[in-house]
Amino acid sequence: MASHHDHAHAPKSRWRHLLTPHSHDAADRVDDAMESSRAGMRALWISLLALGLTAAAQAVVAYASGSVALLGDTLHNVADALTAVPLGIAFWLGRRAATRAYTYGFGRAEDLAGIVIVLVIAASAAASAFFAVTRLLDPRPMTHLPWVLAAGVIGFAGNELVARYRITVGRRIGSAALVADGLHARTDGFASLAVVLAAGGAALGWRWADPVIGLAITVAIGFVLKDAAREVYRRLMDRVDPGLVDRAERELRLIPGVRDISGLRMRWVGHHLHAEAAVVVDAALSLMAAHEIAADAEHQLTHHVPRLTEATVHVDPDTHPGAEHHLRISHTRLGV
């Protein structure tokens, strides 16, 4: 791939570089963005199939055994599988190009999907609590204990595999909603292990074990609800890992000609980062030289900061106090 400075010493190329969009690595960014969306969609549909099969098997056993703990676990798995729908819609919308009305594109749909996921987790927790309390007030014997035990083990294995897959892919592509969905699946896995305990208690004649375990599952879901809500809230509030900001600053300070950084802001749009930076350079620099520094800064940011696909770099002159001369050049790099 050619560097921004490969044409820096040819006058005609310099002016062409100034006056035309820098598109030589835009194609790479489009490919990366499309690949991340495809990876997200693939994770969703594979996990939807796995959880759907798991929930179907558990539903049959829950109906036959009357286990409220297994019923709660089944509800969680159904809810977790259904969260693939809003996430799938969000990833599909995120592929759409920016418009005159939505100039940043449609990546924020993922944040809206994250809210839906949090609401689904909360609803499943409420349903689990309702059934557990009802059964605690009106205890009933659990039947088909070996099948309940097997359903609990299957539920744990299926959920843990899906959780690992979703969290890994979500972190790799920077999708907070997919990570939250993976955390939800992980909680369902532990809830399935609790079903095994409920079956063991029922085998010992403890009729209260099943509803009490059901309540314990509800509490566990509550903790995951807190973590998922915090993850989505941070994304909605444009929180960025301070380590990424530090890395961006380090890259900018390494640019030849950059004397200082007067401002740096970063935000997530879907699972891609956008950055706005202001760097201070020598006031005596020519327009072309200042532009080259801005271009180099944009290049270094988008190539060394993970998941950063768009950067806007402003160049401010390093002038003494009271100087009337002021130059501000905005070099914008459009991403996807």
Q: Which amino acid is at 317?
A: P
Q: What is the arithmetic mean of pLDDT over 317-331? A: 53
What is the dotted CATH code of the domain comprising 240-333?
Answer: 3.30.70.1350
Q: Please give the Cα distance from 124 to 224 (Å, whole number).
A: 12
Q: What is the arithmetic mean of pLDDT over 304-324? A: 78
What is the arrangement of strands in the sheet containing 308-318, beginning at the earlier edge strand? 260-269, 272-282, 308-318, 329-333
Can you say how many angstroms the Cα of residue 321 is from the centroid of all Cα atoms in its chain?
44
- pLDDT score of 53 more than 70: yes
Other C-beta atoms lying within 10 Å of the C-beta of residue 75: 24
Domain ranges across the chain: 26-236, 240-333
- pLDDT score of 7 more than 70: no
Please state at what angle helix 109-137 crosses helix 84-94, rounded to 10 degrees: 180
Q: Please give the Cα distance from 285 to 73 (Å, whole number).
A: 66
Q: Cα-atom radius of gyration of the chain, to the nearest Å?
A: 26
- On whether the CB atoms of residues 79 and 121 are closer than 8 A, the answer is yes
Q: Name the average pLDDT for the chain.
A: 77
- On whether the CB atoms of residues 72 and 131 are closer than 8 A, the answer is yes
- pLDDT score of 248 more than 80: yes
Q: What pLDDT was estimated at residue 32?
A: 47
In this predicted model, which residue has the larger pLDDT, 272 or 283?
283
pLDDT, tens digit, 9 for 90 and up, residues 177-186:
778 778 777 7
- pLDDT score of 36 more than 80: no
% residues pLDDT > 70 (the chain):
82
**Nearest by Cα to 93 from 104, 83, 107:** 107
pLDDT band at 315 (very low <50, low <70, confident <90, very high): very high
Query: Does the fold of domain 240-333 match that of domain 26-236?
Result: no
- On whether the CB atoms of residues 67 and 59 are closer than 8 A, the answer is no
What is the dotted CATH code of the domain comprising 26-236?
Answer: 1.20.1510.10
- On whether the CB atoms of residues 165 and 188 are closer than 8 A, the answer is no
